[in-house]
Amino acid sequence: MKDGFVKFIFTKLTVKMFVTLIVYNMFGVLLNELIVPFTYSIIDPNKKLDNLKMTHGDCTINYGKSVTDLLIGFILLFIVYSFLI
């Protein structure tokens, strides 16, 4: 079984796949470390959206961060969509 796995790795994994993984990681770092914080600072400079809460009985639901992440996702999708068309 070990020989079959090693053979699979050497026959199926190509340089193109490794380059794709490296580029994917680079875009992930770019998005998480630069684009999202910059967008956060434009949308919510006073950090008021992060603290939005809803109380239902004894439970408190913090929905501010989710709303902000969703808003940034839609903004980034709109930017990518506008460049593609």
SS (H, E, C) the chain: CHHHHHHHHHHHCCHHHHHHHHHHHHHHHHHHHHHHHHHHHHHCCCCCHHHCEEEECCEEEECHHHHHHHHHHHHHHHHHHHHHC
Give pTM, 2 decimals. 0.59
pLDDT of residue 7: 82
pLDDT of residue 1: 63
List the pLDDT tens digit at each of the 85 positions of the chain.
667 887 877 787 778 888 888 999 998 898 889 888 888 888 888 888 888 888 988 888 888 888 888 888 898 889 888 988 7
pLDDT of residue 49: 81
